[in-house]
Amino acid sequence: MNEAIKEFYNDVISKSDNKEWYTTCENRTLKKKELLEVALRKKILDEILADSHINNASEIQNKKIYEDKVEERLKELIKDNEKDDEINEEQLAVIENYTSYMGIIDSKFHTIIYPKALGPQNFWKVISCYTRAYLLIVTQMIPKFINKQLTKEDYLYILKNPKHIHTEILEFCKIKKDEDKKLKEDAKVSEELKKTKKVLFNPRKSSRKRYQDNYIQLYSSL
């Protein structure tokens, strides 16, 4: 995916009249420490909010206590000699269970104003992050990409054919909307059948007698 993103944007830049505005696209991903820190922020925030004790709940209002907790947990998770490109099972569990981007993308968003001057590395982190998110979502909406081992060419196809992909997304949304409508209709019919069954098979004696009387009257009229 990252190689496809790099190739796509470098191709766009090469054809642009504003080459001096941008720098060459590089594979800029968020570092392990960044991802762990924001995941821990969310985890600790959830723990504080879930605690019913007033004393603990007030910790969220004390920024220093909150920051100290984050820093303490971060030191427990990352050892001094660890490589940034290696993530162990414990770290991965925290990132996956408390996925968050609290502040790490927002703080770099201003670089879009003038990438070359304000920070090309952070600019490409922002662009890469949003592009990866787009690709991950789209590949779960288009049938030919679902449950497939995607290649660089697949990702490039999505990026280079926005109009066609947009049409496929609309078709996906229409199908899902029709499916939801059918499910609601089926649920309504099922509920009506339950109500009818409840009336017809009511165990109360008076109810049975009423149906027996009605049946006798019908038989007599014949």
Q: Based on the domain organization, do 141 and 175 belong to the same domain?
A: no
Of the three residues 90, 117, 151, the one that is the final residue of a domain is: 151
Report yes or no: 36 and 91 within 8 Å, Cβ to Cβ: yes
Average pLDDT, the chain: 76
Q: How confident is the model at residue 164 (pLDDT cuts 50, 70, 90)?
A: very high
pLDDT of residue 61: 59
pLDDT of residue 163: 93
Nearest alpha-carbon partner for 168 in 160, 178, 158, 177: 158
Q: Is residue 140 part of a domain?
A: yes
- For residue 59, what are the domain limits? 2-151
Q: Based on the domain organization, do 9 and 36 belong to the same domain?
A: yes
Q: Based on the domain organization, do 194 and 140 belong to the same domain?
A: no
pLDDT of residue 47: 78
Of the three residues 151, 179, 202, the one that is the final residue of a domain is: 151
Q: Is residue 129 part of a domain?
A: yes
User: What mean pLDDT do residues 49-76 have?
Assistant: 68
In sequence order, what are the residues at sequence separation of 6 or more whose Cβ sits closer than 8 angstroms to the Cβ of residue 19?
13
- CA 116 to CA 124: how far, in whole Å? 10
| Residue 166 in this model has a pLDDT that exceeds 90 | yes
| Residue 215 in this model has a pLDDT that exceeds 50 | no
Segment 148-163, tens digit of pLDDT: 889 999 999 999 999 9
